[in-house]
Structure 1
Amino acid sequence: MDMFYDGLRAFGGLWTSPFYYLAILWVAWHARKQTAIERKLFSVKLHTWWREWGRTVLWGAIVGVGVSIVFLFIGASVTGSALLLLWIAALLLSAFRIRYLCFAYAAGVVGLLQAAIGFLDADSLPGGAAMLVREIEAVHMPSVFALVGLLHVAEAALVYATAGRLATPLFFEGKRGKPVGGYQMQGFWPVPLLLLTPMAGGATGALPWPTLFGGEASGWGAVAFPILVGFHSLALSRLPRDKARSSAFRLAGFGAAVLLCGAAVFYVPAWWTAALAALLCFGLHEWLIVWDRREESQSSPYFVHDTRGLKVLAVVPGSPAAELGIEPGYVLRRVNGQPVLDRAELHAAMRLNAAFTKLEVLDHAGESRFLQRALFANEHHQLGIVLCPDEHVLHVAEFEEGGLFSFLRSRRSSSRGAAYGPGGTPSDPSAHM
């Protein structure tokens, strides 16, 4: 019962933490930015920002409960000071690259610092430096690695479950300078954690269940702290749901590897094991990004028109196309009996019958589907279909890898004479928190 009340007090303290509100505001800003990009490129919004914001906050809370429950059986020691160090390290790193806003990198940096300062005498340092050294020395790295691993496994579950909602269709400049379609898959989830951690004068004695790290402390208390979990990737060579699922499996594998690193550091407590685990935590995460980038650069673009017809990039929710069951990746082959190979032919075919339309589309398997529907006033002029770009497109997204506060910028192309829309660079197609 004492543990229960201690947990309630810690949970109540979560709502006074500025980090949680900063995370929620960041998610809201990202959702609004997503809607603004869609309006700029397609003159319609494919997502409602406040609904997406509400879903991400809800899913983040659910994941926080799950991670907190699993952490009960680890017997880990993650103090508020250790979590604060991780947040500070992540924020400092993100000033250089946005993808560094991730506890995998922060844990790697803290682990390397702890291994390095093991050779220092804190008593010989000035007051502030000595206090910082002692705080870093006190971080229980096995518990930190376990937390990072669990968060990435949870992130994998979020990416897998919300594949469609993560994706924003965009136009990109292809390898040969021609525009291609694709999806930016990006999401952030504020995850409130309630972690049981050993502490002097804790609310209870030894834990009544077996734990990974022993859990033999004389007293236990609860620490509540928010975490921001984020994911970013590009889907240019396949459907976003397929890309999300493969990314989810890779993230889960990375999380399992970091969990094993935490166990190794606990059972082999030496400076070199902590340093090796920190390097692996940092390096494996970078390798995931390199793997993703190379995979996209070596594959052919999926969202381009071909000789069969016009390929669908996206469908406006609630539109006639959505009611007909048309999906991204489908190909418009015939409209009102006429073959369509460009936008002019599409619009001409639709004008053949202003009150009714008949479509022949090719699904993902290349099989023909015949669809028909009455048309009404004030409906989308293209049935709510967003087509892949052609050579006449005015805007494409250009991504530049920058720091946390770098914003999407526009530039002008001398060859096209067209304004380029906002974005950040395909040279960094994947980042995980």
Structure 2
Amino acid sequence: MWQDWLLELLKGFGKLFLNPVFYLSFLFAAYLGVARVKKERRHFTVRAQNAYFELKQLLPIGIIIGLCISVLSIGLVLVVPMEFVVFTGIITIVLALIGKTRMLSPVYSVGLGIVVSSVSLFLGWDYLLFSKSNLNSSEYIFPTAVILLGLLIISEGIFVRQNGIEGTSPRLKKSKRGQAIGIHLLERTWILPVFLFIPTGVLTIPFQWWPMFTVGDQTYSLLLVPFLIGAKIVVQGEHPIISIRNIGRNIIILGSIVIVAGSAAYFFPIASLGLVIVAMIGREWITRKQINKEKNKSFYFSRKNNGVVILGIVPDSPADKMGLEIGEMISKVNSIPVQDKNQLYKALQKNSAHCKLEVFDANGEIRFVQRALYEGDHHELGLLLIPDENVHGNEAV
């Protein structure tokens, strides 16, 4: 028996490399990295992170979370038809090709996959990919997929909350009054590989008591399915870490609600499609709530009368090694008060060998940082700041 399970696990893992979503994920992440670098150079003449940053974030955390969900998937016997896998993959590919990163939330890609595959099973659509469904016509609505959707939504929230706060992209824009302000953009994707049960195979499920209409006399195979999860969030009214963590928390709560409701849908299968719609509405509500919240707040990254706000920091730069962080405000450089980028640059030149900064952190508490400067450091401290007059021709300090 265990030999069959091991063989199916290996076969299911190998099929991961036959899924086009797996390869598209790397191409799309590379595209996001290149596009981000181009925009950052246009605004600051330097980039905050290198073009490989998005690629480096694509897999590591996804493998860990995917392993946890796979354990739950196998333990809970999450059985989905092949139609669901195919349609979800097609929708994901289309959304990625048209550059809709925000729509790569599982609420939309997986949710639409559930709807379309449910309709195909109900209407008995016939395709070259699968000539006939392995499920009975009465089983076209499947709460199992809704449980999976909830797990994937929670995963999105974890991705956003834990990984999304790292390396957000600083940008410049003009306010309605024509003043230069700074914003932070999170636009990133993650691969989440999950083992799922597919009808037909050599595995039998011994849990006759399990409340699933797909468990019984059927046999199953295991398939490692790569889900491409994306997020796009613009923050301008508060510190990006605070805003993004709050959004991630709300997404996790939404996913938890979907799982609880999906469990109840085992006894009321017709509710499954309704839950998908509710999940989509909930995710849109989270997005709109954040947008409206931003509108009612003053700009977090804007010119101040008592210092210079740090919009971004180049990794491994002198500013990074001094422990400076985005959102902090530099009030004095070498004991000289500064109010804009030009004054900061002149104050740095007063002492080309040493740099002492008076800084207010995100909580408004004052601290002092200092560092010896080497040749060229005073020209390239690694700070990305709000320009003095307009958003054009800005350079990093």
Give me the TM-score of the superposition, normalised by structure 2.
Answer: 0.87
Partner of 2:143: 142
Contact in 2 for aligned 1:163/1:240 (Cα 8 Å): no
Determine helix, strand or coil for the equivalent of 2:13: helix
Relative to structure 1, the CA distance from residue 93 to residue 12 in structure 2 (aligned partners, 3 Å threshold; closer, same or farther) is closer
Residues in 2 aligned to 1:38 and 1:380: alpha-carbon distance in whole angstroms: 21
Unaligned runs of 5+ residues in structure 2 are: none
Determine helix, strand or coil for the equivalent of 1:186: strand
Give me the TM-score of the superposition, normalised by structure 1.
Answer: 0.80
User: How do 1:215-254 residues align onto structure 2 when only pairs under 5 Å count?
Assistant: 216-218=215-217, 219-254=219-254
Residues in 2 aligned to 1:319 and 1:6: alpha-carbon distance in whole angstroms: 49
Contact in 2 for aligned 1:184/1:232 (Cα 8 Å): yes
Cα shift at 1:207? 4.5
Relative to structure 1, the CA distance from residue 63 to residue 93 in structure 2 (aligned partners, 3 Å threshold; closer, same or farther) is same
Aligned length: 387
Q: Partner amino acid for 2:299?
A: P
Residues in 1 aligned to 2:85 and 2:383: alpha-carbon distance in whole angstroms: 46
Deviations 1:5-51 (A, max 9, x none): 11111111111222211112111221222222222222222213335
Partner of 2:355: 357
Q: Percent of pairs identical after alignment?
A: 26
Partner of 2:275: 277
Residues in 2 aligned to 1:262 and 1:143: alpha-carbon distance in whole angstroms: 8
Determine helix, strand or coil for the equivalent of 2:52: helix
Relative to structure 1, the CA distance from residue 8 to residue 246 in structure 2 (aligned partners, 3 Å threshold; closer, same or farther) is same
Cα shift at 1:111? 5.2
Partner of 1:376: 374
Moved more, 65-74 or 243-252: 65-74
Residues in 2 aligned to 1:213 and 1:395: alpha-carbon distance in whole angstroms: 62
Residues in 2 aligned to 1:73 and 1:212: alpha-carbon distance in whole angstroms: 13
Residues in 2 aligned to 1:23 and 1:93: alpha-carbon distance in whole angstroms: 12
Residues in 2 aligned to 1:14 and 1:299: alpha-carbon distance in whole angstroms: 45
User: How do 1:15-414 residues align onto structure 2 when only pairs under 5 Å count?
Assistant: 15-92=17-94, 95=98, 98-109=101-112, 139-197=140-198, 199-207=199-207, 213=212, 216-218=215-217, 219-270=219-270, 273-379=271-377, 381-394=379-392
Contact in 1 for aligned 2:336/2:347 (Cα 8 Å): yes
Deviations 1:275-318 (A, max 9, x none): 42232122112212111211111111111121211111111112
Residues in 1 aligned to 2:300 and 2:243: alpha-carbon distance in whole angstroms: 12
When the two chains are superposed, the root-mean-square deviation of aligned CA atoms in Å is 3.0
Contact in 1 for aligned 2:83/2:117 (Cα 8 Å): no
Partner of 1:414: none
Determine helix, strand or coil for the equivalent of 1:196: strand
Relative to structure 1, the CA distance from residue 200 to residue 55 in structure 2 (aligned partners, 3 Å threshold; closer, same or farther) is closer
Cα shift at 1:251? 0.8
Deviations 1:68-122 (A, max 9, x none): 111123222213321111222444567595533343224544555677789x875
